[in-house]
Structure 1
Amino acid sequence: MSRASSQPPLTPRFCFSTTALRDFLRLSRSTIDDSITQNLNALLTPSRSGFDPSSTSSRQSRSLSQREIDPQSCKSFKEDILFGSWQARSDVLSYCAGVATSEDPDDPDILIRQVESERDRERVVDERLDPYSARFFPREARTEILANIVRNERSVEKIVRTRTWDVIGERCGNFGERWEDALDRWRKEREGSK
């Protein structure tokens, strides 16, 4: 069974390295959420009392994916692995969102953007002669790029968590509880135990 992915050291450099940020999120999602059926199947204990030869004489009506998993195993999977992984990703996205809204004095492209901005102000455009001459695509600051990535990844995270929670609901029975409520309850219980 998969283990919760460990959170990387949170630094602005990590966030601005969008490849590292996306790799962490992709790896974390693939080990827990994308393989949720396999992780839940690993919780099943098919031979509790040993092998019964008569079990092969007839076809089983319920497939492996339909068998209900022991409630205690489901609870420990959710609390020890799933919610920990979700929390690690939430922490990374929240930290990087903070970095994206902060001032970035170390931006290596700041001088280039300033020069382009000056040139853009000085440019005289006659669109009658060249309708494409007004086209100017200023470079985005890396904080803007990071903010867009965080926004997109948060949307992806909601979709992934909803799908994962639906599978868990089918296999473990969530009794109509939303993943947001379950995660909030888990966070409060963790804070209370500290």
Structure 2
Amino acid sequence: MPSKQPQLGSLAIQAPTLTPKTVHVSSSTCHDVSAFKELMSQYRKLDDSINMRLNRTTAQYRDRERTGMGSKGDIEEQACAHVWKEFIANWSRRKELVNYCVDVLDESVEEKQRSLQDAGDDASAQRKARGALYAEEVKRNQIRNELFVENIVRKRTFDAFRARCRYFEPPPSDTEARKWWDSWDSV
């Protein structure tokens, strides 16, 4: 019987993997809408597990304090700060990914528009160029819709976070965290 069992259930979400996978996003990732949406889905798993993440992180800080390995202070506050940093990093990566793909597809649409103009009077070439342009516009719109989905996911996560971490506020020195916090706090 093997001594090391696979991580199943919520433990797999909480614990970092031993072999983290680096995903290199290229323009082909942006053009493959299914692959792009799958990647976004993977990134959103952190948001989907917010309550479990807060519970587990609080338990970890409580265990550290009990064993004398943790810093003194409010355990709930430390857990909230830790989870908030994870969300900020994840949201920033997702924002960067969506913006990159929007730019790639904007450029592709412009290229298809130029090829439509270059088709001249050739009806067959114009039909082909219009079809390619339409396909690129559909992909671009699907990727742009992810910006709206992102806002919904982040707002839901922020609301759940605020419900659990009522007294938490990121320090003023952390400008990126403050920017995210202030944008949601004012809504």
Q: Distance in 1 between matches of 2:175 and 2:89?
A: 12
**If the length of structure 2 is used for normalisation, what is the TM-score?**
0.61
Opposite residue 13 of structure 1, the aligned amino acid is S
Matched, 1:139 2:131: yes
Which structure 2 residues correspond to residues 57-136 of structure 1 after superposition, within 5 A?
70-79=76-85, 81-103=86-108, 118=123
2:146 is equivalent to residue 153 of structure 1: yes
How many residues matched?
A: 145
Which protein is richer in helix relative to its size?
Answer: 2
Pick closer, same or farther for the CA change 1:44–1:103 going to 2, 3 Å.
closer
Q: CA deviation at 1:175?
A: 6.3
Contact 1:168–1:174 under 8 Å retained in 2: no
Sort the Cα spacing of 1:170 and 1:44 in 2 relative to 1 into closer, same or farther, 3 A.
Answer: same
Query: What's 1:185 paired with?
Result: 178
Pick 1 or 2: higher relative contact order, CA cutoff 8 A, min separation 6.
1
- What is the one-letter code of the residue matched to 2:54? L
Structure 1 residues 78, 3: closer, same or farther in 2, change over 3 A?
Answer: farther
Bigger Rg, structure 1 or 2? 1
Q: For the residues of structure 2 that align with 1:73 and 1:9, how far apart are their CA atoms?
A: 31
CA contact (8 A) 1:12 1:99 kept: yes
Which of the numbers 12, 19, 35 marks the counterpart of 2:34? 19
Q: 5+ residue gaps in structure 1?
A: 51-67, 123-137, 188-194
Rounded to whole Å, the distance in 1 between the matches of 2:179 and 2:15 is 20
Q: Aligned partners of 1:183 and 1:148: how far apart in 2?
A: 28
Cα distance in 2, alignment partners of residues 149 and 7 from structure 1: 24
Relative to structure 1, is the Cα distance of residues 163 and 86 closer, same or farther in structure 2, using a 3 angstrom cutoff?
Answer: same
Q: Tell me, yes or no, if the aligned pair for 1:83 and 1:186 is still in contact at 8 Å.
A: no
Which runs of no fewer than 5 residues in structure 2 stay unpaired?
1-13, 68-73, 181-187
**Aligned-partner Cα distance in 1 for 2:108–2:66:** 63
RMSD: 4.0
Equivalent residue for 2:155?
A: 162
Structure 2 CA distance for partners of 1:25 and 1:2, relative to 1, 3 Å: farther
8 Å CA contact 1:44–1:69 kept in 2: the answer is: yes
% identical aligned pairs: 25
CA distance in 2, matches of 1:163, 1:43: 19
